[in-house]
Chains A and B, each alone.
Chain A
Amino acid sequence: MECKNAQNMLEAYLDGELDRDAARALEAHVDACAACREALSGLDELRRALRAGGLRHIAPAALRERIALAAAAQRPPHRRAPGSTWLRYAAACLLAFGAGGVSVHMWNSAQGADSALSHDIFAGHWRALAAATPVDVVSSDRHTVKPWFAGKLAQAPLVQDFAEQGFALVGGRLDYLGAERVAVLVYRHGQHLVDVFVLPAAANLAAASEQQGYRLQPVRLGNQPAAIVSDMDAQEFSRFVTLLGNAR
């Protein structure tokens, strides 16, 4: 690696934003280059000073109270009433139908969590389509994409290229579902961009859904739950579902 390239990458390295291959190449250079070592330790010293404490202002209690009051004012009582009526109704169902009532109630709340999750997934996909590039790490080589994730997530997903079957691996990116950081594998099929969101183990996305011509389909990727989202036609979609489901 050229020294000038290394100098430009030092900060991204320190910020944990390099993929693993690039980080390793940089480390090899830094081991051998005194100037880069010095620059890196200078940056590290600055970081430690900035993080040593005391620079972060904590919200005063008065502000916390103000926001809590404002939040309470945002919720006039009539908005809560339907919820409690609904609960009373659910309780009545429970009494009336016994176990049958329970399963209806569970199904309802699972639907709610489900639609919030699929809402986030669709939004993530559209954001990526609108962005300059839908990927953070560009590579058709799964041996680059998987380690890149490994450095950023607790569990790196199963990555496989299906270029021969018409679904070429374009790369990967990180996205957020709620506050959860998740891996997204990005494939291209003709003009269509295909996102595979690798979901947290606890995520339970039961049903396929459709929004504005985009389709979302839950699938298992190895031992992880995942969701495919794209605007491919139904036939191509099901072909990709099968391919991904058989990935090992």
Chain B
Amino acid sequence: MSPAQASGWVGELARQHLDAAYNLGRWLLGNEHDAADAVHDAYLRAERAAQTYAGGNARSWWLAIVRNCCLARLSTRKRETHLHSVDGPATTHGLTSEVEERVHAAQCNTLLAGHLRALPVEFRETLVLREIEDLSYREISDVLGVPIGTVMSRLARGRALLQKSLGASPAQEIGHGM
């Protein structure tokens, strides 16, 4: 594929699946600023990798790059938090995103969102891809780079954990807004 073709289609791909990318970023990184930066990094990385794209499901390919950029950011953040731990937990949230976070939380099922956020990352990302982005097992396995069997066991474990934590909290909250 020629470079001219490459830059066209990656931009189109990123535009088309920008919400999916950002949503995954938000659930992995927790705030608007980091998620947006990670998606931007991912776009640049995708442009550079466009030549090596071997066909197949383009959305999975794009989301896999987004995820890698998010995980890279997560590990840097962990290092920084560790360094600054004397000053208390690092706050990466800007004021606007905190306000937005609150507005958003008020709009949705806060309890469920809280429990989902509290899940270990491997279960959280698998559930987000399956339930919110509606990816098939095959697509999730492509994004995460794990076998389908692992996707299935993570979904099962994630769902069980979520059901357990929901069961432990006031039940009437579940199903709000259904």
Interface residue ranges, A against B (CB under 8 Å): 11-12, 15-17, 42-43, 45-60, 62-64, 66-68, 70-71, 74-75, 79-80, 82-83, 119-120, 122-124, 126-127, 132, 136, 174-176, 178-179
Contacts and interface: CB of A to CB of B under 8 A. Distances in A.
A46 B159 contact: yes
Contact of B108 (A16, A53, A59, A82): A53
Interface in B50-92: 54-59
B131 A74 contact: no
A56 B136 contact: no
B57 A50 contact: no
A60 to B, nearest CB: 7
Interface in B88-143: 104, 107-109, 112-113, 116, 127, 130-132, 136-138
9 A-B pairs closest in CB distance: A54-B108, A123-B55, A71-B11, A59-B22, A57-B26, A50-B131, A74-B7, A176-B57, A63-B36
Given A58-B19, A59-B39, A132 B147 contact: yes
Contact of A119 (B7, B55, B108, B138): B55
Given A11-B156, A54-B109, A124 B55 contact: yes
Contacts of B40: 63, 66-67, 70
B177 to A, nearest CB: 5
Given A55-B113, A75-B7, A176-B57, A67 B18 contact: yes
Contacts, number: 146
Contacts of A53: 108, 177
Given A46-B163, A119-B55, A179-B59, A55 B109 contact: yes
B174 interface: yes
A50 B22 contact: no
Nearest to B139: A176
Given A57-B104, A67-B14, A176-B58, 13 more contacts: A11-B152, A11-B155, A50-B112, A54-B108, A55-B132, A57-B26, A62-B36, A67-B15, A67-B39, A70-B44, A126-B54, A174-B136, A179-B57
Interface of B: 1, 3-4, 7-8, 10-11, 14-15, 18-19, 21-23, 26-27, 32, 35-36, 39-40, 43-44, 47, 54-59, 104, 107-109, 112-113, 116, 127, 130-132, 136-138, 147, 152, 155-156, 159, 162-163, 166, 174-178
A54 B113 contact: yes
A55 B112 contact: yes
Contacts of A55: 108-109, 112-113, 116, 132
B107 A54 contact: yes
B108 A123 contact: no
A79 B3 contact: yes
Given A11-B159, A70-B43, A124-B56, A64 B18 contact: yes
B131 A47 contact: yes
Nearest to B13: A179
12 contacts: A11-B152, A42-B163, A46-B166, A49-B178, A58-B19, A58-B23, A63-B22, A67-B15, A70-B44, A75-B4, A123-B55, A179-B59
B4 A45 contact: no
A67 B66 CA distance: 13
Given A43-B159, A123-B54, A50 B175 contact: no
A66 B159 contact: no
Contacts of A60: 22, 32, 36
Contacts of A11: 152, 155-156, 159
A70 B36 CA distance: 13
Nearest to B178: A52
Contacts of B131: 47, 50-51
Query: Which of B10, B11, B21: most chain A CB closer than 10 A?
Result: B11
Contact of A75 (B8, B27, B132, B159): B8
Given A59-B39, A126-B54, A136-B138, A49 B14 contact: no
Contact of B4 (A15, A59, A79, A178): A79
